Amino acid sequence: MVRSPAEASRALEAATARLSAARGWRRWLLPPLVAWLVANAVFAVTAVYGGDNPFDAHTWTSWDSPIYLGIAQDGYTSYECPQAELDQGAWACGNFGWFPLYPALIAPFLHAGLDGEAVGVAISSLFWLGLLIVVWRGLLLPAAGRATLPALALATFAPGAFYFHTVYPVSMAACLLAIALVCLRDHRWWGAGGAAALATATYPTAGVVAGVAGLWLLLVAPAPDLRERIRRILVVCVPPVVAVALVFGYAELATGQWNGYFGVQARFRDGFTLPFGNWLDITKPRFEGLGHVSIFLSLQSLLTTLLVATVLVATWRRRRDASPFDWLVALWALAFWLVPLCQDVVAYYRTDTLLVPIAVAFARLAPLYVTALAGAGAVIAAGMTLAFMQGILV
């Protein structure tokens, strides 16, 4: 069949467009996919080294995992507090001390007869991949810095990354928070509020995003007038509050104890304090477990501190040229680091995962420095995996 010059030109343009689209698709998907596969391989090798089967979902469950699976199976339930828990300070007992959105995703598969642990690992792993895609496509590529690939590696092996494929909700919460951050940068206020609400209903510490976004919208983000500024604050910050109210409402309907969350948490004496004592405590080296793997808790805390300090110092040094988004990332780093430290008996090595989106700040730093940080993160993540499998982490 002989084509006219016009038809041939249109066919060539269409083929060029398809090729360009394919290249663009590979550009935003391939790097995070490779990073995800490499990280999974690292954790699998670490599991084998520790004497565990990386393909057994039970390897990636611990402490709180059965609680999330119990919520997926039966919803919120309560029971009469035994004397031991009353002595610890609890005044309500049940599984409503953990938020329900992640178990809600597991529930349909569990009731269909699938293994809950395997489904939990799969959901966590997919949200981990989604997190890396959002960080790469939504944050690092637009940053157009010198160290986008090293920054992706840093996000892949960020503090707490070993939790991203376990039966815990942190990868889901971190992914939703990264989406909220992208929406805030792009002035998609309803999207930011919705993502923040879902993240908060997944993991309570994610609710810090309401304070971060509120302060940024009030003090930094440009707005045409005060009325519009207030409207944006309400649109972004009210949904996470509503999400918490809905969780408490569900607890009331299921158990008759809307405030049971606080009763359970009282057992852990989860009060507020100045952060310095907790920081000194978690950075103090410990040498527990086989091979003294608990030393990695201290190393992760030091790495987290270094990452936050790097973001703050880098932002301050370019303060005259810093964009509103730069200040948002700096505020994010400070808040998601300090707020958990202001609480007693919190698994700080788990809340560190919510700092992953600050990887965007490293895209414009020296590639060698960021690569060194990512390498340190990989070693620490492997060590923390061993500590997790030995039951040292909760």
Does the model's pTM come out above 0.85? Answer: yes
Asked if 168 and 350 count as a contact pair (C-beta separation under 8 A), the reply is: yes
Measured from the Cβ of residue 18, the count of other Cβ atoms closer than 10 Å reads 10
Please report, in tens digits, the pLDDT of each residue of the chain (394 residues total). 445 555 545 543 454 444 344 456 677 789 999 999 999 999 999 999 888 898 988 888 887 899 999 999 999 988 888 877 776 777 778 888 889 999 999 999 999 999 999 999 999 999 999 999 999 999 999 988 899 999 999 999 999 898 998 999 999 999 999 999 999 999 999 999 999 999 999 999 999 999 999 999 999 988 889 999 999 999 999 999 999 999 999 999 998 888 888 888 777 665 667 777 777 877 788 777 777 778 888 999 999 999 999 999 999 999 889 999 999 999 999 999 998 888 776 677 888 999 999 999 999 999 999 999 999 999 999 998 888 888 787 7
Q: 154: closest CA among 362, 388, 330, 379?
A: 362
Q: Are 119 and 16 in contact (CB under 8 A)?
A: no
- Cα angle at 342 between 358 and 322, to 5 degrees? 30
DSSP string, 215-244: HHHHHTS--SSHHHHHHHHHHHHHHHHHHH
Rounded-to-integer distance, Cα 326 and Cα 344, Å: 30
The C-alpha angle 154, 155, 159, rounded to 5 degrees, equals: 85
Asked whether the beta carbons of 212 and 331 are under 8 A apart, the reply is yes
Locate the domains of the chain by residue range.
30-207+240-389
In angstroms and rounded to an integer, the radius of gyration of the C-alpha atoms of the chain is 22
Place of tokens 């501190």: 305
CB burial string 368-394: b at 16+ within 10 A, e below: eebbebbebbbebbbbbbbbbbbebbe
Please calculate the CA angle 209-124-349 and round it to the nearest 5 degrees.
Answer: 55
Q: What helix, strand, coil percent values describe the chain, rounded to 5?
A: 75, 0, 25
Do residues 393 and 170 touch, judged by C-beta distance below 8 A? no
Crossing angle for the helix pair 148-156 and 116-133, to the nearest 10 degrees: 160
